[in-house]
Structure 1
């Protein structure tokens, strides 16, 4: 992935779309983009194979939206991030297979959902050394809490 990203950045540099100083930034950005597109494609394919395409699509949309607005855990290695994403997806898919159990424990399911929302409301957005929060976002969270 990194070699493909570097080639794309080099191509942009040779065509004078970006400066030499920007090559590393573009290469990193393309590497992340390629990784995320690949991960999404693979999740959707596996979801389709196990007849859980809709659940997988909902997971990808919700997970991506939550991460983009709330921040979250940032793994130090790409494989750790990918593994955590697959584990979370797996939990969602297992949850779809245990629908009968969840229906029997409806009160527990609602309680878990409410607690989850409260945790997100209280903790989001999450600041990380690689994703600093702007003063505006910090002020916005202070006003809410």
Structure 2
């Protein structure tokens, strides 16, 4: 991806569309666009094959802002991230297609998962460092979004949209798992940084 992004950046600079000084910004922008674009195309293909386009769209409508506010695990290798994301997406849709969960149980599970998300926040990301003021702002936005998602769960119950309610729960479960892994990974990195040979971990 980075090679393709570099070629695209070279092209726009050669055509005098952008300045050489902005190379790094445009390369990063092209990388993100290509990575997200490839995953969206793959996701659309998967949803079409499973005949679950609406469920596929619902996944992104809920997952994208939730992940943006809550944070989670960030992998450094794109292809590992891509494969795992596709597998997670396929698994979610297949579970939704073949499993049913009682509305009352779904409501309790959703509430519990939302509490976990709120308690686990924040998950530090070295690519996106935020100060204390930004952290407070994100936490307020996260709370509002959690309330909105719980309302969506209630609407699903009223209109008997069990499959969408189940998908909502699965999405939250995925986010909780990635937040836990992200926190554990950050903790291990901090321990390794503080380790001094011959003096033990503490």
> What is the TM-score when the length of structure 2 is the normalising length?
0.60
Most deviating of 106-115 and 41-50: 106-115
Spell out the pairing of 1:1-145 with structure 2 (5 A cutoff). Answer: 1-99=1-99, 101-103=100-102, 106-140=103-137
Q: Secondary structure at the match of 1:102?
A: coil
Distance 1:68 1:91, change over 3 A: same
Q: Secondary structure at the match of 2:127?
A: coil
Q: Aligned partners of 1:124 and 1:14: how far apart in 2?
A: 44
Q: Aligned partners of 1:46 and 1:141: how far apart in 2?
A: 32
CA contact under 8 A between 1:125 and 1:141: conserved in structure 2? no
Superposition RMSD in Å:
2.5
CA contact under 8 A between 2:13 and 2:19: conserved in structure 1? yes
Alignment gaps of 5+ in structure 2: 144-202
Distance 1:15 1:68, change over 3 A: farther
| TM superposition shift of 1:31 | 1.4
1:79-114 CA-partner distances (Å, limit 9, x unpaired): 222133223313321232234x313xx443222211
Distance 1:84 1:134, change over 3 A: farther
Larger relative CO (CA 8 A, sep 6+): 1 or 2? 2
Query: Counterpart in 1 of 2:186?
Result: none
CA contact under 8 A between 1:40 and 1:60: conserved in structure 2? no
Larger C-alpha radius of gyration, 1 or 2? 2
Aligned length: 142
| TM superposition shift of 1:141 | 5.9
1:20-58 CA-partner distances (Å, limit 9, x unpaired): 243133212211211111111111111112101111111
CA contact under 8 A between 2:69 and 2:138: conserved in structure 1? no
Alignment gaps of 5+ in structure 1: none
Distance 1:60 1:98, change over 3 A: same
